[in-house]
Amino acid sequence: MSVINEMRLDFPALAENESFARMVISGFLLPLNPTLEQLADVKTAVSEAVTNAIIHGYGSGRGTVRMHAKYDDDGLVTIDVIDRGRGIADVAHARQPFYTTAEGEERSGMGFTVMESFMDAVDVQSAVGQGTTVRLVKHIDARAEPLARRA
């Protein structure tokens, strides 16, 4: 396996940038010729991870979210959503449905179960006071030869 394409994007941890991240990942994956379902799955998982970074990582504070994505010649897509915010003390507990750090807000949890339902793998690494990295992995079965190979 060799990496065909890779990108890194840093953006302010603002709520309006969640939709921006969804659009960026969509454009990045288009050369793999994903199905609409595959594209929707990835966009949903990215949306959850970015929202977590903004709301749970930084709260009302300022910060930067980094999205690093790559795909290889076998169609394996890896997306890291990284914050340098508060971090998660107990990742296993945080992965439970309806767990939230957003006290007083109506939230349905941190969305890890949603991410897991749409991706092939989800890995969460975190340290209190240092931030969190959510790694999303999905295999995109190309329906036709990817644009990256046609060139």
Q: What is the dihedral of CA 13, 124, 39, 100, to 10 degrees?
A: -60
Tokens 């897509």, located at residue: 77
Q: Is 37 a catalytic residue?
A: no
Residue in 5, 66, 107, 116 annotated catalytic: 107
Marked catalytic residue, from 17, 18, 22, 52? 52
Separation of alpha carbons 19 and 54, rounded Å: 12
Identify the active-site residue in 17, 22, 48, 86: 48
Beta strands in the chain (DSSP E): 3-12, 64-72, 76-83, 121-127, 131-139
d(CA 21, CA 4): 20
Residue with tokens 């990284």: 82
The set of residues, in sequence order, having a beta carbon less than 8 Å from that of 24 and lying 6+ positions away, is 7, 9, 67
DSSP annotation of 31 reads G
Q: Identify the CA nearest to 65 among candidates 78, 86, 84, 48.
A: 84
Active site residue 16: no
Catalytic amino acids? 48, 52, 107
